[in-house]
């Protein structure tokens, strides 16, 4: 559905995208992750034909990106672009006209889209009376009003409270179940973990890793992660080195990667003679993968081996 091939883009002398290639398959929810400045917004602007790439190509549904392909895209931007004094139905009608929805189909599309985001009962309510979560749902309805081939969700739940976030997640799951192709950018790793079929991680304009969550777990080749709190960190790290447990810090947390599942008494026995304040276990999650890829610079399709991990000894 969406095909990016060797895209490059620079601003002045600063490279933003470097030979970026990826594909989003029909009906797939693809999560595009990366730190600020990684190139996510630039990528979206190129897909929407708001910017021109220096080199490379983009196609949507087999068509090269142009002004004509804009109607193939529905986008929920980071900021709600809504007319606050207009009602929900009036906002939808306005954008339906812009997208060229025929007059005879507009009323049906407005009702269908409001119903899809659970706002049919607020059709005649001005946007300024809606909560933040309702406004995000209305933005999603607008993105769907012209029945696009590709929906782009750019940080869709940023700033929402937990209840509104869960509501929007459920709506995105409905899109996924209906086979609507979706490109999702987010800083919420739990969001990507829950919603996406595949995930790509950008850093410095390069695609550093890509795959399903199961495929991405190879970048953290551990059966589980153990978090240790101790006043004898250097001794604990040295012991872990002898045992072949890679060490990582996540913030101030000192963790060790276990190549196999161990019972808690076995884990504690590994650090015998070292004063431990607490020991806890974690499953390998997207947050660990993301930190490994973005902070240590793992190269695409080249996950590091367990015995090559550098140990982060406190200075």
pLDDT at 296: 62
pLDDT at 175: 87
Task: Give the start-to-end residue ranges of the domains of the chain.
Answer: 2-211, 220-308
Q: Is the dihedral of CA 138, 142, 143, 146 positive or negative?
A: positive
Which residues is 22 bridged to in the sheet?
Answer: 4
Q: What is the pTM of this model?
A: 0.85
HSE-CB of 167 using CA atoms within 13 angstroms: 18
Q: Are 240 and 306 in contact (CB under 8 A)?
A: no
Cβ neighbours for 43, distance < 8 A, ≥ 6 positions apart = 4, 7, 17, 20, 32, 202
Degrees, nearest 5: CA angle 111-115-121: 85
> What are the start-end ranges of the E strands in 149-291?
150-154, 181-185, 198-203, 206-211, 224-229, 247-250, 253-258, 278-282
Residues (pLDDT < 50) of the chain are 297-315
Q: Long-range contacts made by residues 238-244, C-beta under 8 angstroms, separation at least 24?
A: 239/270, 239/271, 239/274, 240/270, 240/311, 241/311, 243/270, 244/306, 244/307
Closest among 14, 70, 26 to 44, alpha carbons compared: 70
Second CATH level (architecture) for the domain 2-211: 3-Layer(aba) Sandwich (3.40)
Tokens 């607490």 locate to 278
Q: How far apart are CA 4 and CA 58, in angstroms?
A: 5
pLDDT at 294: 87
Number of Cβ atoms within 10 Å of the Cβ of 58: 21
pLDDT at 52: 93
Second CATH level (architecture) for the domain 220-308: 2-Layer Sandwich (3.30)
pLDDT at 13: 86
Tokens 């990667």 locate to 257
Query: Given 3-state DSSP classes, what are the helix, strand and coil percentages for the chain, each rounded to the nearest 5?
Result: 40, 25, 35
């Amino acid at each position: 559905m969406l095909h990016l091939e060797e895209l490059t883009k620079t601003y002045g002398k600063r490279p933003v995208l470097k030979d970026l290639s990826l594909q989003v398959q029909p009906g797939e929810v693809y999560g595009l992750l990366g730190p600020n400045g990684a190139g996510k917004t630039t990528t979206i602007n190129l897909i929407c034909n708001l910017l021109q790439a220096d080199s490379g190509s983009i196609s949507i549904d087999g068509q090269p990106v142009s002004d004509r392909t804009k109607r193939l895209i529905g986008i929920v931007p980071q900021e709600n672009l809504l007319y606050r004094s207009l009602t929900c139905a009036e906002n939808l009608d306005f954008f339906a006209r812009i997208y060229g929805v025929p007059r005879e189909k507009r009323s049906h599309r407005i009702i269908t889209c409001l119903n899809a985001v659970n706002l049919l009962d607020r059709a005649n309510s001005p946007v300024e009376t809606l909560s933040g979560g309702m406004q995000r749902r209305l933005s999603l309805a607008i993105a769907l009003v012209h029945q696009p081939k590709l929906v782009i969700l750019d940080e869709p739940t940023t700033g929402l409270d937990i209840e509104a976030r869960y509501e929007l997640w459920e709506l995105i799951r409905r899109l996924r179940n209906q086979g609507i192709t979706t490109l999702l950018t987010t800083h919420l790793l739990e969001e990507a973990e829950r919603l996406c079929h595949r995930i790509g991680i950008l850093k410095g304009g390069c695609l550093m890793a890509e795959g399903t969550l199961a495929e991405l777990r190879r970048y953290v080749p551990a059966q589980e992660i153990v978090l240790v709190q101790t006043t004898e960190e250097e001794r604990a790290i040295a012991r872990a080195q002898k045992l072949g447990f890679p060490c990582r810090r996540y913030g101030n947390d000192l963790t060790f990667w276990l190549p196999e599942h161990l019972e808690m008494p076995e884990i504690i026995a590994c650090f015998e003679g070292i004063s431990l304040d607490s020991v806890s276990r974690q499953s390998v999650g997207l947050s660990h993968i993301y930190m490994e890829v973005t902070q240590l610079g793992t190269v695409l399709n080249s996950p590091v081996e367990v015995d090559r991990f550098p140990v982060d000894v406190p200075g």
